[in-house]
Amino acid sequence: MKPTIHDVAKYAEVSISTVSRVMNAPETVAAEKRSKVLDAIQALQYQPNAFARGLIFKKSDTLGVMIPDIENPYYAGLIRGMQDAAVMLNHSLMICNTDRDKSRTVAYVQSFFEKQVDGIIFTSDSLHMEYYEEMQRYRLPFVLASTNAPEYDIPSVDIDDEQAAYEAVMHLIDQGHRQIGMISFPLGDTISGQPRYNGYQRALRDNGLAAYDSCVEYAEHRFKHAFAAAERLLTRCPELTAVFAASDEFAMGTISYLRENGRYVPEHISVVGFDNIRMAEMFIPKLTTMDQPTYDIGFRSVHKLYELITRGKVEQLREKLPHRLVIRESTRRYEKG
């Protein structure tokens, strides 16, 4: 049986906290006691681990990450950015998939506390009051990534979703399209649903196209839901020449529906996506899409959380990273007739 920190303390006739200080801050321990602890460690062949240190200092060098849907390709870049930043800071990540389930999310917060994570990164979902209160109850530092909560003073890293959506729709308008519809997230259930919808609406209003602001259908987060929403949208608004999709997966579902029904992109209709996931440039046609710097969002969120943990505050509370339109094959200039 491997010796524990308790065994070392008993052998050296000192407290556990003294053993911990010898391992982590030896200069704070008197020479005589330090020598006794080092002799005990050598005699018992004790190998201290991160968990043992965490028991004393309540610090594990581990960060908890909550992802709403680990299967969604959007999160690949986000997690990669977090991982690279964590390695740079000598931390590890503990990743949990919430499925946007409230009870599961609350349970994960409790689990993170029990496992002594140093802080939490909460991604992409709405910060419901239950989540906020639970993290406050356990006094866990946390940062929002690819989401925000303006009602709370919680550090966040994301983009300006409304402006990005506005620019995506403006691209279609600049290409001569006037009959533009949208496949949107549900407005009340997702943090990006309302601002991307608002961006779409604002672009139409600014260009005298408000007659089409009702050509919107809503989908959950998956390809198959977007496929069904595209069917509803194109059945109700068959005259559309372009569609703005609130995600690349929605854009792919829309294009697949069109293809199965004898309409091709961009020959018959243009489609703009959102996110610029890796598959966007592999899909046929390659997607025109609004690029989110997912890697940078993940990377910055870890650094912001580390700043919060070590300093107790952050220099910039709400950090907005730049977005950019990537023009590929799924859009082209509209030519009447």
Q: Residue 27's domain is classified under what CATH number?
A: 1.10.260.40
Residues 165 and 192 in one domain: yes
Q: Which residue segment(s) compose the domain that 34 sits in?
A: 5-57
pTM reported for the whole predicted model:
0.81
Q: How far apart are CA 331 and CA 337, in angstroms?
A: 17
Residues 146 and 248 in one domain: no
Edge-first strand order for the sheet with 62-67 is 92-97, 62-67, 119-123, 142-145, 156-158, 318-320
Residue 328 lies in a domain: no
Q: How close are the terminal C-alpha atoms of the chain, in Å?
A: 81
Residues 179 and 274 in one domain: yes
Residues 268 and 305 in one domain: no
Residue 327 lies in a domain: no
Residues 78 and 143 in one domain: yes
What pLDDT is attached to residue 261? 95
Q: What is the number of domains present in the chain?
A: 3
What are the residue ranges in the chain where pLDDT is below 70?
A: 24-25, 48-59, 189, 337
CATH number of 169's domain? 3.40.50.2300
Residue 335 lies in a domain: no
Residue 326 is encoded by which pair of tokens?
Answer: 């990537």
pLDDT more than 70, % of the chain: 95
What pLDDT is attached to residue 50? 55
Residues 213 and 154 in one domain: no
Q: How far apart are CA 235 and CA 19, in angstroms?
A: 72
Q: How far apart are CA 245 and CA 178, in angstroms?
A: 16
What pLDDT is attached to residue 49? 59
What pLDDT is attached to residue 155? 95
Residue 318, class by beta-carbon neighbours within 10 Å (0-12 exposed, 13-18 middle, 19+ buried)?
Answer: middle
Q: Which residues contact 189 (CB under 8 A, 6 or more apart)?
A: 100, 126
Residue 105 lies in a domain: yes
Residues 127/147, Cβ–Cβ less than 8 Å: yes
Residues 228 and 270 in one domain: yes
Residue 154 lies in a domain: yes
What pLDDT is attached to residue 195? 94
